A and B are shown apart, each in its own frame.
Chain A
Amino acid sequence: MRRQLVDAGVHVPVLTKEPALLQGVEAVYPPQAERAGLEAVVVLTVTLGADGSVTEAAVAQPVGNGFDEAAVEAMKQYRFSPAEVDGVPAPIQMLYQVRFVLAVPDAGVTDAGSEMAVPRATLKGTLVARGSRTRVPNGTVQCVDQPDAGEALSDDKGTFSLRVFAGHCKSVAQASGFETFNAEETLASDETTEVIYYLIPKASGFETVVRAKRDRKEVVRRTLERQELQKVPGSFGDPVRVIQNFPGVARAPFLLGQLIVRGASPAQTLTYMDGVEIPLLFHLGAGPSVVNGEFLDKVDFFPGGFGSRYGRAVGGVVDVTTRQGASDTYHGVAKVDVQDSSLFFEMPITEGVSIAAAARRSYVDAILPLVLPKDPEGGTLLILPTYWDYQVRLDAGGPKGKPSRNNYSLMAFGSDDLLKVVATGGGRNRDVSLDVHTRFHRLVGNGVFRRGKSTYKITPYLGYDNATFAFGTTQLIADTYAVGLRADYTYEANKWFTLRLGTDSRWDHIAGKAELPVFSGTQYVAFPGAQPAVEQQHLERQLNAVDAALYLETDFKIGKLTVTPGIRGSFAHVHGQRRWAADPRLWAQLEITEWTQLKGSVGLYTQPPAAVNLEPAPFGTPSLVHEKAFQTSLGVVQKLTDNINVDLTGYYNRRFDNVVQPGPRTVNEDGSVTVERYSNDGLGRAYGLELMVRHEVTEHFFGWLSYTFNRSEERRAGTDDPYVLTAFDQTHILTLVGSYRIGKGWEVGARFRYVTGNPKTPLSHDYDLYQADSNRFSAQFGDFRSSRVKPFHQLDLRVDKSFVFKLWTLTVFLDIQNVYNAHNVEASIFDYRFRQEFEVPGVPFLPVLGLKGSF
C-alpha cells in the first residue's frame, strides 16, 4: 500500500495490514459445469469483519453455470487474518477471485492411497508483478493437476514454497489484481525447483479497495488519486494541473497554471506540500508542477470552506501529499518529453525504512537556440528558460503490511527556475539583459504517534526562498529564511466526539537588497514621456515576520448529524506591528441515508498582508490589515452507484479588506505628499453553483463531469463605483473528462471544455485621442468589463500505450491539446490609435509526445 499514513493532519484511515488467507475451502465444482468441461473465474466482493471472518460475499462479476453460487458458498467458509486500519483490526471490503479449473488426471498419480510411495518435490519461487518488479504477497500457487497437493500462499516478499508430487505440474498462480498465471513445470524427485512467476497486473482499480470512510469535514474536498493524477488529457501528465478541471476553478489563459478559485485572485489560494506552504506550484508559471508526479500520493483541493487547520488564505487551498518509498524492492521511473526529463527511484533500506528520490531538469534552454533565428548582423540573442527540482524522502516505521504505532519521515525538496534573456549587438537598437531567478528549498520532518485514541503529528520545517530580478543595472534580491512548526493532535474519544487542536506557526527572516533607479511615480511625480536617466539607489532591508496560529475543532456526532465548530486564532508581528485575527468556522453534515448526505459550512477566513507590503510609503502601506472572506456553502452528495456519485454545492463568498493598488495619497500641510502603495479598500463577492458527477477509478474507466455556474464581482470601497465583474469571471464552466482502458496496454482519454469568455471592456472609437508629450494615443472605451470575449471550447486527447516487459514497462503517450484547432481568444489588443481590436489566439493544435519507463 503506497499511501501516506495521515492526510495533512486531518486523520484519514489507512489500511496498515492486509488480510492474509488462513483457511481456504475448496468450492464444490458445479456438476453440470464439470460434465460440460467448463472452467471459470468468479470475482466476489468480500466483506471481512474485524476478526477476519467473512461476513458477506457477493458476486461482482457473474459467470453463471452454477459457479457463482458455489464460489459464494465456499467463500463464506474462508477465514482471514484480521485486516488492520491505522494499526487496529477493522472491517474492510475487498475483491477476491475464486477459480474453477478442471483437474487433469496424471498418469503418475493414480491412487491417493499410494501417495506415500510417490516421490515428492518442492516448487519454490517468487511472485513478481510483470513490468514493475513489485513483489506480490497473498497470492496462491497450486498444481491444478494435483488437487490433493494443496496450495501455497506467497508472503510479503512474494515468495512461496509448495510441496507436491514429483513429475509434471500444471501450476497456476493467482493473486488479487493480477491475471491468472499458468505454467508447466517438470519437478525432479526430491529436488527443489526455483521459479519466478511474472504476474500480469490488471487495471489498478481491480485491487483490494479500502472502504473505510474518510473523515470528510469540509463541504467540498476533492481528492485526486494517483490513477487520475497522471492520465487526464490536456494536463501533460501533470498531476497538479488536473485541479484546473474541477468545479469552482476558472479557466486560466493559455497554459498558465494559475488557480482562480471562486472569484478569488490566484494569490489568495495557497499551496501546501505535506502541510507546508510552498511559494509556487508550477515552474515558470506555465510549466510542469514543482513536484514529480511519481512522488505524489494524492492532491486535495478545497475550493473554500476548508478546516481550521488551514489558514492564511481567503480563496482555496491545495494540499499535495507525497508518498513513502516502496518497501518490497527497488523501483524507478524515467520520463522523457519535449521539455524535460525526470527520474524517480524508491527502495527499502532495511526493515521498516525506505527511501524515495526524484529529480527533473528541463532542456528547453538547449533546444531554443536551435530554433531561434540567427541575427544576420552578428548579434547575440539568448533566451534561456531553465528549471529543475528535486525531492528526497526517508521513511521509518512499520513495513508494508505490518502495523506501526509510530511513523517518521524526513523530506527535502526544492525547485529552481531561471529565465535569462540576452540580446546584444548586431542590428539591435538596444541591448537587453534580463535575469529572473526563483528558487526554494524545504526540509520537512514528520512524526506521527498513535496512543490509544490519540494521534499526534509533529511537522517541523526549514525553508529557504530566493528571488532575483535583474534588468540591466536594476537588480532586486530577496532571501527568505523560514522556520516553522505544525503540530496536530487528534483525540477520538468515542463515536460521537472527536477533538482536534494544533498550531501552525512560522518565523520568516527576509533580507532584501536592491539597486534601483529612483522611481518616477513612486518617489516623485512622473511626467508623461521619456524616462529620464537617474542615479541608482541602493536599498537594503532586513525584516522579521512571525505568524503564529492556534486552531481547535471538535466533531459532535448526534445520530446522523455531525456538527464541527472550529476556530483559528493567529498573531502576526511584522515591521514592529501586531496583527490579530480570529476565524470562527462551522461545518455540519447530515447523513440522510447511506447514499445521501447534506453538508453546509459558514466561516471567516483571513489572509495576512505580505510582510514586504507593510514597508513604509512609498514602497508599501504600514497600516494594511488582514484580507478577509466570509464564506458559506451548502451541498448535497448523492451516491448513485458504487462508482458514481453526484456532488452539488452552492456557495456565497463575501470578501472585504482586499489589498488593492493604488493606496491613498495625502497632501500634507508642508506641501509634501505621502503616497502609499496599497490599501485595504477592495471588496468582492462571488456566488454560484458547482456540480460534480464523478465516476471513480475502476478497472477500465474513470472520469467526471464538472460544471460551475459562477458570478464574481469586485469594487473599491469609499467610492460610488458599482460592482463590476472580476477579470476572470466565467459564468459557465463545463469540463468533461474521461479515460478508458481498452486493454492490451492501450488507454485513451479525452477532455472537453466549454467556458464563457472572460469579461472585456468594449472599444468605442469616434476620434483619435493623442497625447503629444508621450507620443501615445488614448482609447475610448465603453462600460468597464461590460462585454466578453467569445466562449472558449476545446477538445484534448491522450493516448497511452504500455509495453509490459518482464522487469519493466515502457509507456508511450501522446497528449494533444486542441484536437480540432478551435480558434479561441485569450485577450484583445488594439492598434496604436485604438481604432481596431485584434484577438490574441489561444493554444493551437499542439501534440506532445512523451516516453515513460518504469521498473
Chain B
Amino acid sequence: MQRSRFIAWVTVAFLTGCVGSQDDLSQVFDLRVLGMALSPPESMAPDCNPRNPASLVALNASITLSTLIADPKGEGRPLEYTLRTCVRQDDRICGNEGQFIELSRGTLDAGVSVLPPFSLGPLKLPAPVSDGGSGFLLEETRAVSTFGGLGGLRVPLVLNVSAGDERIYAQKLMVFNCPIVPGMKQNENPALQGIRLDGEPWPENGLRTLTGSKGIFELDDFAGLEEQYVVPSFELQPIALKEAWKVAWHTTMGRFGPTETSGVDQGGQASRHKTTWTPGANPKEGPVTFWFVVRDGRGGESWTSRSGYYVP
C-alpha cells in the first residue's frame, strides 16, 4: 500500500497545482522575518566531558543573534521584540509557563539588526522541567531531548516581533555539540559569493535597472565553500556528510520561481542555483529590493541583498 500512498500523493500534488494561494515564500509585502543568524552558529566543546574547563568555556561562550526583518509597508515604524529561550523545540513561542527565560526585549528597525549578545550556558530556568532536574537550561534541554542530546543540544531561541496587528514568532536553534565521534568540528556560517542577473554580475552596492517580463538570477559557484562534516549515527558511528546550501530568494515586487534553490534532494539529484524573477501582473515602475538568504542545513545562515529599479 506504500505505492497507493505514493499515487495518492502524486494525485493530490497534481490537483493542488491549480488550487491555493498565489502568495509564496518569495513575495515580501508585509512584516516578515527573513533570516536569523547566530554567531557562532554552533558551539563545539573540545571534548564530551562536561567537567573539562575548556568544555565549560565553550558552553558559556557569548552568542550574537542577527536578524533580517522586512517591513515594506511599515514606513520605518519601530518593531517591538522580545527574545526568549526555552528547552522544548515544539514550544514554538517559548511560552510554557516557568519553562522559558527572556534574553532581551526592546525595539528594532526593519532590515538587519544585531541583538544584544547573550550566553546560554549559565542560564537557569525558574523551575526544573524534568523530574529531579537541576533547572539549568542546557541540562534540562538534554533531559527532554528525544535522543538524549545525540546530534547536539538544540536550544530554541524565539524572537517575537510585532507591529500593529502583525505578530511573528520566529524560532532559531542554537546547537551545543561535542566530538562524540572523530572528525566533528564546529560549524561556520555560510556566505554567498556573487549574484548574477541575466548573466551579468551584480555587485553588492550596485543599483540595477530591471526591465521586461523577467530576470534570470544566478549565484556564483560556492561548491568549494560547502563544508564536509561528520555526525554521529544512532549507533555512535561517524557519518560523513557535506553541506548542500539552500538559498531562499525574496523580492518586494513580483515573485521568484522557484522560491528556493538547493543542492541535492533525497534522490541525490542536483539543483542549479538559478531562478527566474517575474514582476507580476500589471507591474508599475519603482524600486525593488531583493534578499538572498543562504542556509547550510545545520544551523548556519547568512544573507545578502540587492536594490534595483524596475521599469516596465
Contacts and interface: CB of A to CB of B under 8 A. Distances in A.
A190 to B, nearest CB: 72
A764 interface: no
Nearest to A535: B240
B297 A527 contact: yes
B84 to A, nearest CB: 14
B89 to A, nearest CB: 9
Contact of B4 (A285, A434, A831, A833): A285
Q: What secondary structure prevails in chain B residues at the interface with A?
A: mixed
Contacts of B171: 769-773
Contact of A841 (B19, B168, B260, B270): B19
B281 interface: no
Contacts of B295: 529-530, 773-775
B309 interface: no
B180 to A, nearest CB: 7
Nearest to B8: A256
Counting chain B CB atoms within 10 Å of each CB, the highest count among A675, A768, A774, A830 belongs to: A768
Contact of B19 (A253, A518, A670, A829): A829
Interface in B51-94: 92-93
A293 B34 CA distance: 57
Interface in A501-527: 517-518, 523-527
B36 A266 contact: no
A532 B272 contact: no
Contact of B16 (A430, A672, A829): A829
A286 B35 CA distance: 42
A171 interface: no
A819 interface: no
Interface stretch (B118-126, B201-209, B241-249, B282-290): B241-249
B98 to A, nearest CB: 21
Contacts of A673: 147-148, 150, 234
A529 B246 contact: yes
B274 interface: yes
B242 A286 contact: no
A805 B248 CA distance: 67
A116 interface: no
Given A472-B265, A524-B233, A671-B148, A529 B299 contact: yes
A158 to B, nearest CB: 47
Contacts of A766: 167
Nearest to B172: A772
A528 interface: yes
Contacts of B103: none
B150 A531 contact: no
Contacts of A77: none
Which of B7, B148, B301 lies at the interface centre, i.e. has the most chain A CB atoms within 10 A of its CB? B7
Contact of A525 (B3, B150, B274): B150
B248 A531 contact: no
B108 interface: no
B8 A532 contact: no
Contact of A429 (B150, B258, B266): B258
A467 B3 contact: yes
Contacts of B8: 253-254, 256, 258, 285
A838 B24 CA distance: 14
B148 to A, nearest CB: 4
A436 B296 CA distance: 31
A836 interface: yes
A474 B152 CA distance: 28
B233 A523 contact: yes
A672 B3 contact: no
A280 interface: yes
Interface in A805-855: 826-827, 829-833, 836, 838-841
B192 interface: no
Interface string A393-432: 0000000000000000000000000010000000101111
A256 B4 contact: yes
A742 interface: no
A767 B298 contact: no
B269 A775 contact: no
Given A673-B150, A841-B15, A832 B24 contact: yes
A530 B63 CA distance: 23
A284 B15 contact: no
B243 A530 contact: yes
A767 B167 contact: yes
Contacts of A772: 33, 35-36, 170-172, 301
B92 A524 contact: no
Interface string A529-571: 1111111100000000000000000000000000000000000
A286 B25 CA distance: 33
B262 interface: yes
A773 B299 contact: yes
A393 to B, nearest CB: 27
Nearest to B235: A672
B239 A524 contact: yes
A472 B268 contact: yes
Given A256-B8, A285-B4, A530-B297, A840 B169 contact: no
Contact of B151 (A525, A531, A829): A525
A524 B20 contact: no
A775 B246 contact: yes
Interface of B: 1, 3-4, 6-8, 10-12, 15-16, 19-21, 23-25, 33, 35-36, 92-93, 146-148, 150-152, 154, 167-173, 175, 180, 226, 231-236, 239-246, 248, 258, 260-272, 274-276, 293, 295-299, 301
Given A256-B8, A533-B242, 18 more contacts: A253-B8, A285-B7, A286-B11, A436-B3, A472-B266, A474-B267, A518-B241, A524-B232, A529-B295, A531-B262, A672-B234, A672-B236, A675-B234, A767-B169, A769-B169, A769-B171, A772-B172, A840-B15
Please give me the 3 A-B residue pairs with the lowest Cβ-Cβ distance, nearest first: A472-B267, A525-B151, A530-B297
